[in-house]
Structure 1
Amino acid sequence: MLHSDSAPVTAPAYSDRIGFAQLTRHAFEGGDLHPLRERLLARIADGIAEAGEGLDLSLIAQLLGEKEAGLVIQTEVLAFHQLFRTPCGLPKPRLRVLALAADIDMGGNTPIEFLLEGSDIELLTLYVIKGVGLPETLPDHDVAIVVASDSEECREALAVIAQAAPRWPRPLLNRPELIGNLDRDKLYRLLADIPGLDIPVTANATRAQLMALSEGQIACAEITGELHFPMIVRPRGTHAGVGLAKIDDAAALKAYLAERQEQDFFVARFVNYASPDGLFRKIRLTMVDGKPYACHMAIADRWDIWYLNAYMAFSEEKRAEEAIFMQDFDHDFAARHKDALDEMSRRVGLDYFIVDCAENQDGELLVFEADNTAVVHNMDPPAVFPYKPPQMRKIFAAFTAMLSRHAAGEGSAA
């Protein structure tokens, strides 16, 4: 743990790794990760593998769908080594960033490597491990950023970082005490009364409560005041649509619970955000230093959209609309919702976060969720999405500029 008023820094004993961005890109582009996995397993068997190679093997297992095996490997590696380097493309980096991560699956920490791709910034990742905490002396760095998420598994890591934060020797971004506000039920309380912003009450409901509701023993309002059928239900702690369902009535709720094993759920009123043409448009924004950037717009005939199930690659018409959305974003969507976005950013308080949103049928900014770990990447094929690489590079440039400003002691531009 850090004890002194100004925590000492030292030359880092890091282990190099290929890292999240390169391995994920390889898998995304259809590459075969099995040969690399076999090579890494052989090096481990021969007793010559470095810690970074072990962490790469963990990630490969997760990318191949073997999540539990991957997490076992990761925990074993982190038990004896916590600091890793993802080298930048230049022999002499301009800046060194220290990312503070938790021992969690590959989606549980901000995938910062994508944001630094092609930059002159070197990334060190320090895993804050249960029972180990932070080292006595921190690795030398110019700026630090907390990349652990708001999930239950990261709470201890965030608490350890929060305890050390007042004495941090360099600028510390995405401060740990603010990340917990992104949890679905807390985010509502944070943003609820912002003019021009609509965020449904998201409430925790136990399985017993939902069973009682499905059997008519309690009313929706006994869970939370504005709740009514149709409602949205999802198991607490899940992402990417796992277990997400629109429930129209008590009978549908009973059928849903019969198929789920979880004990805790989030519930919220359903908002019909269909546009006049009957299609739903779900938008991902990246907030950097208080400024919004368009990340994507998914268009589909279903309310439960994420980018992959909108099949944007198969529709020239949808892609043309997304391209115009990005091109006109600053003087259209961002200008229209400027006051709501500014106030949301101020209340959330993080230097970098992602918002999934839409516009409701009254034209307000409809916020679904905010987090600090969604993947913002430049992996979509430019032949199909020619408008995306310039937009992604714009986001990456804003992110690296933010790091540089803070490293230079200039603080936020917002």
Structure 2
Amino acid sequence: MEIENGEVAGLARYPTAERIGFARLTTMAFGGADLRPLRDQLLSKVAEGTAGAGEGLDLSLITQLLGNKQVGIAIQAEVLAFHQLYRSPCAVEKPKLRVLALAAAIDMGGNTPIEFLLEGSGIELQTLYVVDGVELPMPLPDHDVAIVIASDSEECRDALRKIEQAMSRWPRPLLNPPHLVRNLDRDKLHGLLDGIEGLDIPATTCLTRAQLSDMAAQFPIIIRPRGSHAGVGLARIDDRAGIANYLAGRPESEFFVTRFVDYADDDGLFRKYRIVLVDGRPYACHMAIADRWDIWYLNAGMAFSESKRNEEARFMRSFDNEFAVRHQSALAAMANRIGLDYFTVDCAENKNGELLIFEADNTAVVHNMDSPELYPYKAPQMRKIFDAFAAMLSRRSRPDRERAA
């Protein structure tokens, strides 16, 4: 990177590539917009040699949103090889705060979708991709506060290592530090949270195909490919024959295995919650209700059931006085042990009333894309989360800015 202006306090201004960005493009796709004309327009600019780096990164994302992950990742790798710093759309001309997000070169779901959290905030977001073969720029890009948005995954290991090596000389506050992000993968999270009163987190083990074939287990168990999300490859196995059948249909080499917990309520329905923790405080994100244990929000049919949406609305309205109070001790202990400034938890309540933890993550999608007609209660709740996130960034950056003044 070439410096635009001189170095100030270990920081410098570099040219940034402007992009449409994750939030806007994902919202378009979520709303049913046809992204193919935009894709074709960007492809034409690439063919003409007139496409900028931001347009190349947008093309990568559009390609992934259209279902071609492999080609999208290949485009991204080519673009990031020559440019690493990008600026997302900002709601104001003169931002009140500058945030530097530290990302890894991974698929569209592998970094915190921070653009959603900052939409309309008046905060400037620049994203620095930490890629193989390219060291972090020194001095660093100018910013008030930085946050790691890479995930605890194999693809992000090198990026997290590079950021951690630079931490001791980082000139601004750095949130979600790499050594804490690295505790989030499913097999490590159990060891971190085990023993918290009022919290149930089944042990998760990572096994190879050979180990899984020879495993002696108490059935039923839950299995999924390591690194998978949103229910990809997720299955309940009830006997040893089921293991062989499962492996016959999966190409992966490593799998996470945990015991099955029946968390159905008395009405036979399963309820799964996503909780966002900002600076240690919990906020309701969503509640999915279904007659199947393997729930995520998109397969729960919430859009087709007024009674489910009414229940979710009640959950959000009463969260601070009911759910958060009921699990106050467990949530506080979990936030303390995980230690991250921002993360999400997917959870339920087991039959003993304990908080049943499925996953903790710093990259889950927290958004405001849902229809305001179907979900009129969601926008105010999402705004609470977004405002809390923006306030945390401002609060954490303030001591440093006051010292600089």
- The answer for the alignment partner of 2:5 in structure 1 is none
1:345 aligns with 2:335: yes
1:341-395 Cα shifts (integer Å, max 9, x gaps): 0000000000000100000000000000001000000000000000000000000
TM-score normalised by the chain length of structure 2: 0.96
CA distance in 2, matches of 1:356, 1:184: 12
| 1:12-411 alignment runs, 5 A limit | 12-213=14-215, 219-220=216-217, 228-409=218-399
Letter in 2 for 1:364: E
Letter in 1 for 2:111: N
CA distance in 2, matches of 1:402, 1:97: 12
- The answer for the alignment partner of 2:4 in structure 1 is none
Which 4+ runs in 1 deviate beyond 6 A? none
How far is 1:284 from its partner?
0.2
CA distance in 2, matches of 1:58, 1:254: 37
The answer to whether the 8 A contact 1:196-1:337 is kept is yes
Stretches of structure 1 lacking an aligned partner (at least 5 in a row):
214-218, 221-227
CA distance in 2, matches of 1:299, 1:41: 41
1:33-65 Cα shifts (integer Å, max 9, x gaps): 111111111111121111000000000000000
How far is 1:87 from its partner?
2.6
CA distance in 2, matches of 1:120, 1:366: 37
Percent identical pairs in the alignment equals 68
CA distance in 2, matches of 1:186, 1:278: 31
The number of residues matched between the two structures is: 395
State the SS of the aligned residue for 2:102: strand
Stretches of structure 2 lacking an aligned partner (at least 5 in a row):
2-7
Letter in 2 for 1:251: A
How far is 1:167 from its partner?
1.2
State the SS of the aligned residue for 2:274: strand
1:82-111 Cα shifts (integer Å, max 9, x gaps): 000013111111111000000000000000
State the SS of the aligned residue for 1:391: helix
Letter in 1 for 2:11: V
The answer to whether the 8 A contact 1:202-1:268 is kept is yes
State the SS of the aligned residue for 1:105: coil
State the SS of the aligned residue for 1:170: coil
State the SS of the aligned residue for 1:276: coil
The answer to whether the 8 A contact 1:133-1:157 is kept is no
CA distance in 2, matches of 1:80, 1:273: 49
Letter in 2 for 1:262: E
Letter in 1 for 2:93: P
- The answer for the alignment partner of 1:225 in structure 2 is none
The answer to whether the 8 A contact 1:7-1:167 is kept is no
How far is 1:410 from its partner?
8.4
CA distance in 2, matches of 1:210, 1:403: 44
CA distance in 2, matches of 1:325, 1:254: 41
CA distance in 1, matches of 2:332, 2:300: 29
Letter in 2 for 1:46: E
TM-score normalised by the chain length of structure 1: 0.94
1:214-260 Cα shifts (integer Å, max 9, x gaps): xxxxx22xxxxxxx200001111111111110001112122111111
- Greater Cα offset, 291-300 or 201-210: 201-210
Letter in 2 for 1:87: P
How far is 1:7 from its partner?
6.9
State the SS of the aligned residue for 1:409: helix
CA distance in 1, matches of 2:142, 2:212: 51
How far is 1:69 from its partner?
0.6
How far is 1:133 from its partner?
2.1
The answer to whether the 8 A contact 2:173-2:400 is kept is no
Letter in 2 for 1:75: A
1:105-147 Cα shifts (integer Å, max 9, x gaps): 0000000000001110010000001121201211110100000
CA distance in 1, matches of 2:324, 2:40: 48
Cα RMSD of the aligned pairs, angstroms, is 1.3
